[in-house]
Amino acid sequence: MTEPHDPAATPYDPREHSRVLLDGPDRAAARSMLKAIGFTDEDLAKPIVGVGTTWIETMPCNYNQRELAERVKAGIRAAGGTPMEFNTISVSDGVSMGTEGMKASLVSREVIADSIELVARGHLFDGLVCLVGCDKTLPGAAMALARLDLPGLALYNGTINPGVLRGQRNATVVTVFEAIGAYRAGKISLEELREIEDASCPGPGACGGQFTANTMSTALEFLGISPGGLNGIPATDPAKLDAAYRSGELVMELVNGGIRPSQIMTRAAIDNAIASVAATGGSTNGVLHLLAIAHELGIPLELEDFDRIAERTPIVASLMPGGRFSAVDIHEAGGVGLVARELLSQGLVDGTTRNVDGRTLAEVAAAAVETPGQEVVVSIEHPIKPVGGLAILRGSLAPDGCVIKLAGHEVRQFRGPARVFDSETACYAAVRAQRIGPGDVIVIRYEGPVGGPGMQEMLSVTAALVGEGLGGDVMLLTDGRFSGGTHGLMIGHVAPEAALGGPIALVAEGDEIAIDVDARRLDLVVDEVELKRRWAAWRAPEPRYRSGVLAKYAALVSSASEGAVTTGTRMTSNLRQRLG
C-alpha cells in the first residue's frame, strides 16, 4: 500500500491505514457499525490486523483453520492489536481431480489473491495474517501480501498425518489415486481399493507428501514470509495452536516496526525458495507459483533461473512422491531447517535473508534440532541425487519452455510415438481402456491456462498409469499441469499452449517426439514443410466457456512461462486499449 518504511525517516505509524477509516467525528458511522458487533473504542484505537482464513468444508486441507484463527487473534490482542477475521475460498485439487471442477483450481489462486487484497484495501488494515492450507491458498496469500505490501505473514495450517495401511504409516491421497489405476488394471479387488480409500486420509491437514501444499509451505519458509519452523508442524499437533498464537504476536512486531513483505521477499529470498523446491524434490507447481509471486513483487524472474538453481542444487530430502518419507516424517526429523543447513554448508542459499520472525535463514537453520538417526534429510556430501528435482526444457515443441520433474526417476532421454488427446478426460478414458503401451509419448493438449481454461492437473491419468505398471515406460507431456503427487517421466507447462497456436497444437498421432534432458530439449521430429502445412490448416478452438469466472480468467491469464497470472501482459494490453 505504501513504500517500505525508512527507519531514518519519520517514525512509523502502526495505524497509518486504520486511522483514516476510524478516527475523528467524520468516521462516527464506521465506528458505530463496528460497535454493533462488539468492538469498543479501545479496540478501534489500536492497529487493525486482518486475519484471513481459507476454511472450507469441502476438504481436510484447511479444516483446522477456525481453531487456529482464534489463537492468532489471541496473539494479536496480547501484543496490542485488534484482529478482524475474514475468509476467502479454496478449491481442492484432490477432490475435484479428473472432473470439470479441476479447472477451477488454478483460477482459485487468483481469486484468493484478489479477495484478500480487496478486503485489506477495503477495510484499511494495518497488518495481515493469512492462514493457508490447500495448494493454491499458499501462493494466493503470498501474492496478496506482495501486492499490498502490508506488514504481514502467512501461516500454513499443517500437513495431514500419513495413513496407516497394513501396518505401514505411509499412505496418502496419491496412494488412493494409484490404487484406482491398479483396480482398473485388475491388480487389486474393489474391497482392497475401499480399504485403501478408508485408511489414506486420517484427519485434517493438507496432502501429506512433498506435494504442492508442502512444497509451497517449505518455499514460504525459505522465502521468509512464514515464520521459521512453524509451517512444518502437522495440523493435529497441539503445537500448531502455539504456532498460531506466536504468529499473532509476530505480526504485531511487523506492524509496530513497519516491516513489509517487500523487505522480506527479496530476489535472494526467491532464489532460496527455488533451491528449497529443488532440494526436496518438490512439485513442479512451485515454478508456476514462484513466478507469480515474483511478478506481484515486481521482481524479474525467468524459467532459466529455475534451471540454473536446480542444476546446482542436490536433492537432500527423501520425500514422497519421489522419495520415501512424508511431511510428518521431515518434521519429526528436525524440520526443513535441516535442508537449509545442508544447502548453507555449500553456499547454495543466501543465509542473510530475513524471516518475518526476525531471524535470518542462517539463524533458522542453526536453530534446527536434528533427531538422532533420522533418515529423511541426508548430508549434502552424499546427496540423494546430485542435481535438483526439476529442469527447464525448450525446443521445437516448447519454444517458450516447459518443466520436467526429475525426482523419482533416472531417465534423461526418451523417444516415442505421440498418442494425442485434446483433453484430460479423453486421455483418462484411453488409459482406463488400456490403450496406452510402453514407449508411448502421451500428449494432452488444450488444457493450458487459456485453453482449459485453468491448467487442470493430470494426477488421475498419471496415477492410473503408475497403477497399471506403466509409470516408468511412458512419457506424458501437456500444456496443463501435474499434481505435486505425480511421479514418473512427466513434462508440464508446455508453452506456447495449444489454444494459442503453440506447436503442441500441431502434433499428430504417431509423430515422433524426442526428449533430451541433458541438452534441455523437447522436440517434435517432423519436417518443416509438413509443420507449415498443418499450421495453415489449424484453427483456434471455440472457447469452452463464454461467460462467468472461467471465461474472464481465460481472457486475462498469461502464459505458464510467466506464472499464469491475471495481472500480467494480457491485462496490461487490455487496459491500454480501453484507455486509448
Question: 3-class DSSP state for residue 173?
Answer: helix
* Phi and psi angles of residue 288, each rounded to the nearest 5 degrees, phi first: -60, -45
What are the grid coordinates assigned to 44, written together?
Answer: 478501534
Residues that are catalytic: 483
Amino acid identity at 218:
T
CB 234 within 8 A of CB 159: yes
Question: 3-class DSSP state for residue 489?
Answer: strand
Q: Does the CA dihedral 556-560-563-568 come out positive or negative?
A: negative
Q: Are β-strands 475-478 and 441-444 bridged in parallel, bridged antiparallel, or unpaired? A: parallel
Radius of gyration of the chain from its Cα atoms, rounded to whole angstroms: 24
Find the helix or strand (DSSP H, E) in which 109 lies.
helix 104-122
CB 116 within 8 A of CB 130: yes
Q: Does the CA dihedral 220-349-212-557 come out positive or negative?
A: positive
CA distance 339 to 231: 14
CB 404 within 8 A of CB 490: yes
CB 579 within 8 A of CB 572: no
Compute the half-sphere exposure of residue 135: CA atoms within 13 Å on the CB side of its CA.
Answer: 32
* Phi and psi angles of residue 333, each rounded to the nearest 5 degrees, phi first: -75, -20
Q: Using CB atoms within 10 Å of the CB of residue 573, give its burial: 0 to 12 exposed, 13 to 18 middle, 19+ buried.
A: exposed
CB 464 within 8 A of CB 431: yes
DSSP 494: E
Q: In the beta sheet, which residues pair with residue 476?
A: 442, 490
Contacts of 408 (CB under 8 A, 6+ apart): 281, 321, 322, 323, 487, 488
Find the helix or strand (DSSP H, E) in which 522 lies.
strand 521-525
CA distance 103 to 97: 9
Amino acid identity at 454:
G
CB 132 within 8 A of CB 247: no
Q: Are β-strands 441-444 and 413-421 bridged in parallel, bridged antiparallel, or unpaired? A: parallel
DSSP 492: E
Q: In the beta sheet, which residues pair with residue 477?
A: 443, 491
CA dist 525 to 37, 109, 245, 530, Å? 67, 36, 58, 11
